[in-house]
Structure 1
Amino acid sequence: MASSHSHQHTAQLQQAPTRLAEPTLAIIIVNWNGWRDVVECLESIFNNKDRRFRVVVCDNASSDGSIGHFIDWAAGLAPVTAAGALAHLSTPNTPKPLRTALIGPDAPLPSADDADLFIIDTGANLGFAGGNNVGLKIAANWAGCRHFWLLNPDTVIEPDAISVLIDRMDEADKPGMVGTDLRFYHTPEVIQAYNGSRYNKWTGTSRGHFNFHTGTPTVARAEIEEATDFVSGASLAISKACYNDIGPMNEAYFLYFEEIEWALKAKKRHHIGYAQGALAYHKEGTAAGSSSNKGGRSLASERFLLRSKLMFTREQFPWALPAVYAFTLMQILVRIRRGHFDKAGMMFKLLMGR
């Protein structure tokens, strides 16, 4: 929880002279002990030219004082300093203070008019799905807000990303779920995914479209949309109409596979779109407490990944479960060969139902 001086900042922020336009889009970010990434992400969002948005940051009981840091940042007391090729997306910093509201776990749902930045204390570590669901419930209550954009905390976006995304979601075909271009933050020339991924139900694995390609491959938007089984959870937009049809994310998936199950539900009544040219850069791994830069996921991330994969396969494609088990046994052998005995042991126990 924020300190008392931070609460004074909240009162001060309510009187900030500038305000955003009426929101068409709610941007939802879930934080768990990652405030430094989040404030850089927020700078890139508030640097967008299109002002038809609100931001909802859902803090999952962080222990690093994240809420206080967010309030200090919004008051203009804690400038963001970014380095590297993407520093221009968050510096110079946007004018402060920002109109900000701090919402406790049991507070009534706020109005979109209350603030431009909503900091939500969820009261517990609800996971990726649970944290996003808190933000979605708030945004779904805003009458004029037509679309919700779930952004990972370790992303930054280009200054035209919001307008490109809203334009795609408002096109005549009215897609229910939409992805963007995702590139790696530390190597911006390398693509993480265009829009999302195909899912292989026999192995329980997926690969992003144009994953690890460099440059800007020429590809038709319709081709990517047709090939997308699910939109990347790091940058996932959903229309209010689709959300009202399919409901919130399944919180049984604490981490991983929640967006795949959500997309399966969405595709039964809606279709997937692609906001080609709406660009986000992803540090990747930070949100899950792992590091892709160090050559692999953490033990905790691997445990969540396999647990979710087995649960998802049992529920959605039970006839593919033997193949997923066989593939996982092969993965265990690879871990053993690489000397990752802790990961191999954990995976074997999960396969055995322990």
Structure 2
Amino acid sequence: MSAANPEAAARTPGALAPSPLPPLLGVVIVNYRGAADTIECLESLLRSPLPMKIVVVENGSGDDSADRLRAWAGGTLDAVPESSEMAAFSTPPVAKPVPLAELEDSSVSTGEPVAPLTLIVSETNRGFAGGNNLGLRHLLRDNQLKHFWLLNNDTVVAPDAAMGLLSRMMATPRVGMCGTVVRHYWTPDRIQALNGSSYHIFTGTSRSLGGGQPATIRYSPQDVADATDFVLGASLAVSRGFLGEVGLMQEDYFLYFEEIDWAVRNSKLGSHTYETAFAYGATVFHKAGRSIGSGSARFKRSAFADYWLARSRLRFTWRHYRWLWPLHWLICWAQILRRLVRRQGRNGRAIMSAAFGRSY
């Protein structure tokens, strides 16, 4: 891959450019065996004119991800968009080299002041919650940061998305969680979710708000915010106050249900519950389920995804709706039978392991 061309070299990364205003937004991107996706995401994010601080957590990939991210920052590895339609969001490259601070996971609480762009290298895979929490702990050390955006590494963001997100959060009294418009990377004229999803406690299933609808659909932003039971984790922002009272994500889920758990814990604050907002002026494009095989269609899910969905649903139900746990245990057996009918024996065995509390 070639280094940045002369035209790009004259450009300054907007999000990391010196600014008279302190950054108010921190961003966490967790990488797991997806350096190419992460680089494309970073290239799009750095085009934002909004000053911010960004942390990339290399989440125990066990491959060359960290080296590739260093090479990108040094200007010897470019983003390679997988869709020509999306290429305008991440090419040509921003100016290189991009200053990149680096920390080991053990140094997060005692490291140097928070740099504009930091790579945290974790020796182990901490899961979705653990990886994001590691980045949040580092960013929380900068008291000027008031809001924090958890962004999937397999996303590409519009140049004005960060500004739209921060503006909505700052305009919302006692804001806690906030999402964006999330559209499909491969079919950008279609919505994956408006803000997030509704959740059915009896079935353990969720419905993406606006999912599958054309991007031109008309909707009431307030109605979307009111209907949001939890914000989609691919593009999820939280406030410093929310983190202070509700806390970080529960790491024992490893994958799935972290967002709805966060939302339910917030609701238990009663009169002190933080508001869920919707940054309808911010758009993110998502490749969806790239690293773990969690496609939206059940018959396309990997056994790994089926295992963690079942395990986390049971754990979530036990934690918050214990009286419904027997029902959800029976639902696991119905899912096992469906997988067997589809000749997905490996998936069925994975769900059975989750039902009996066994490891994957």
- TM-score by length of structure 1 reads 0.90
1:350 pairs with 2:349: no
Residue 111 of structure 1 corresponds to 113
Residue 60 of structure 1 corresponds to 59
Residue 283 of structure 1 corresponds to 287
1:180 pairs with 2:180: yes
Distance 1:295 1:84 in 2: 29
Does the 8 Å contact 2:169/2:175 carry over to 1? yes
1:316 pairs with 2:320: yes
Q: CA RMSD in A?
A: 1.8
CA displacement, residues 77-135 of structure 1 (integer Å, 9 cap, x when unaligned): 111121321111001111111121011122223323xx321000122111111111111
Residue 11 of structure 1 corresponds to none
Shift of 1:350: 2.9
Q: What is the SS of the residue equivalent to 2:264?
A: helix
Does the 8 Å contact 2:193/2:208 carry over to 1? yes
Give structure 1 regions of 4+ aligned residues with deviation exceeding 6 angstroms: none
Aligned partner of 1:297 among 301, 319, 323: 301
Residue 217 of structure 2 corresponds to 217
Shift of 1:292: 5.6
Distance 2:43 2:251 in 1: 29
Shift of 1:141: 0.9
Structure 1 runs not aligned, ≥5 long = 1-16
Shift of 1:31: 0.9
Q: Which amino acid aligns with 1:25?
A: L
Shift of 1:140: 0.8
Aligned partner of 2:336 among 332, 345, 349: 332
Distance 2:318 2:334 in 1: 19
Distance 1:309 1:294 in 2: 15
Q: What is the SS of the residue equivalent to 2:106?
A: coil
Distance 2:201 2:298 in 1: 28
Distance 2:294 2:199 in 1: 22
Distance 1:174 1:350 in 2: 38
Shift of 1:49: 2.3
Does the 8 Å contact 1:178/1:237 carry over to 2? yes
Aligned residues: 335
Residue 190 of structure 2 corresponds to 190
Give runs of aligned pairs for residues 155-174 of structure 1, distance below 5 A: 155-174=155-174
Residue 76 of structure 2 corresponds to 77
Residue 95 of structure 1 corresponds to 95
Q: What is the SS of the residue equivalent to 2:280?
A: strand
CA displacement, residues 307-334 of structure 1 (integer Å, 9 cap, x when unaligned): 1011111111112223323333332222
Distance 1:324 1:261 in 2: 16
CA displacement, residues 253-295 of structure 1 (integer Å, 9 cap, x when unaligned): 1111111111112233211111012111111111325556995
CA displacement, residues 168-221 of structure 1 (integer Å, 9 cap, x when unaligned): 010142311101111111111111110011111111111110111123221111
Q: Which amino acid aligns with 1:274?
A: F
Does the 8 Å contact 2:311/2:357 carry over to 1? no
Q: Which amino acid aligns with 1:109?
A: G
Shift of 1:353: 4.3
Does the 8 Å contact 2:155/2:284 carry over to 1? yes
Q: What is the SS of the residue equivalent to 1:193?
A: strand
Distance 2:215 2:60 in 1: 39
Q: Quick check: 152-161 or 327-336, which moved more?
A: 327-336
Q: What is the SS of the residue equivalent to 1:176?
A: strand
Structure 2 runs not aligned, ≥5 long = 1-15
Give runs of aligned pairs for residues 134-173 of structure 1, distance below 5 A: 134-173=134-173
Shift of 1:157: 0.4
Identity %: 38
Q: Which amino acid aligns with 1:277?
A: G
Distance 1:234 1:264 in 2: 18
Q: What is the SS of the residue equivalent to 1:179?
A: strand
1:341 pairs with 2:340: no
Distance 2:230 2:298 in 1: 27
Does the 8 Å contact 1:325/1:351 carry over to 2? yes
Does the 8 Å contact 1:165/1:275 carry over to 2? yes
Does the 8 Å contact 1:191/1:210 carry over to 2? yes
Are the structure 2 counterparts of residues 249 and 334 from structure 1 closer, same or farther at C-alpha, using a change threshold of 3 Å? same
Does the 8 Å contact 1:110/1:138 carry over to 2? no
